[in-house]
Amino acid sequence: MTSADQVPFDDRGLAYGDGVFETVLLRDGKPVLWPYHRARLRHGCSVLGIEPPDDTALNACWQAPESALDVLKIILTRGSGGRGYALPENPAPRLLSRRTPFAPAALRWQGVDVCLCALRLARQPALAGIKHLNRLENVLARREWQSEDIAEGLLADTEGNLVEATAMNIFWRAHGAFHTPSLEACGVAGTLRAALLARGDVCVSPLSVDALLSDASVEQLFVGNSIHGLWPVNTLTTPAGEPLRRFSSPPDLSLQTAAHRLLGYLPLSGPLLSGEKRS
């Protein structure tokens, strides 16, 4: 395993997106939901055929002076070499990491507007779920809106199934239960989503774009990840900000409460910001 402050020209992650990454919330110097991050990273390495870093190398990524809240980004590439797309004979994976101070956008815990992106995700089951380095679909989708009033963009696949947001997973409440889309064909399996599934707080269900727009049984919508927590959606818009659908208010925040307890954030009555301590 090698590391570098500057990625060399022939790094396969730079050239081809040949690698995986994790974005981890650090609270008081400790990684939150780490078993889920570690498992996803190792699964991604298995899918791509990259030797995963050992726990000693991973643990070294956050061995630094502690602050109340940081975000740690870990990048693992296959390393350098190989002729074209052919793999190097003796790959030396390259592990890089960086941590930055973080404070959550607590106002968004009270509700946000999101848009429905025009871009459709390609269905590729071989890469579904993993957080690989080639995120061009997400980049193109994020270009679709410029307004700061829009917090996220929702993405469907080429068959019209709702999949994820550009940087978050999707959850909704219908028929008295919380749901999240299947990610068997495409999308990133978020670690907060995995933890909520493991607890039985959500179940996997299909949801088409047509149903999202018109089915009254879809009462509430949320977007969330393991860094920002869960944001209730007030209004679904076009990328230009034209309203498509409004969701019930005030929403049932029980799923948000469960998610924020997993992340160490308190409910809306007392949000835990960076610098504050839990009782």
Write down the pTM of the prediction: 0.92
Predicted confidence at residue 3, as pLDDT, reads: 53
How confident is the model over 225-234, as pLDDT tens digits? Answer: 999 999 999 9
Task: Tell me what percent of the residues of the chain surpass a pLDDT of 70.
Answer: 92
The structure tokens listed for 94 are 């390259």
C-alpha span between 36 and 172 (Å, rounded) = 22
Burial class (CB in 10 A: 0-12, 13-18, 19+), 102: middle
How confident is the model over 179-215, as pLDDT tens digits? Answer: 999 999 999 999 999 999 999 999 999 999 999 999 9
Task: Tell me what percent of the residues of the chain surpass a pLDDT of 90.
Answer: 86
The structure tokens listed for 248 are 């019930």
Predicted confidence at residue 249, as pLDDT, reads: 74
Closest of 75, 66, 64, 65 to residue 24, by C-alpha: 75
How confident is the model over 23-61, as pLDDT tens digits? Answer: 999 999 999 999 999 999 999 999 999 999 999 999 998
List of residues 6+ apart from 52 with CB closer than 8 A:
41, 42, 45, 46, 76
C-alpha span between 195 and 202 (Å, rounded) = 10
Output the average pLDDT for the chain: 92
How confident is the model over 4-22, as pLDDT tens digits? Answer: 567 899 999 999 999 999 9
Predicted confidence at residue 1, as pLDDT, reads: 59
Q: Is the peptide bond before 52 cis (omega within 30 degrees of 0)?
A: no
pLDDT band at 63 (very low <50, low <70, confident <90, very high): confident
The structure tokens listed for 150 are 């829009």
The structure tokens listed for 167 are 């940087």
Tell me 80's DSSP state. B
pLDDT band at 267 (very low <50, low <70, confident <90, very high): low
Closest of 39, 49, 156 to residue 93, by C-alpha: 49
Amino acid letter, 98: R
Predicted confidence at residue 2, as pLDDT, reads: 56
Q: Rounded mean pLDDT of 116-137? A: 98
What is the full DSSP assignment across 188-213?
Answer: B--HHHHHHHHHTS-EE---BHHHHH
Contact 234, 244 (CB under 8 A): no
Helix 191-199 × helix 34-48 angle, to 10°: 120
Which residues are tagged catalytic? 23, 131, 164
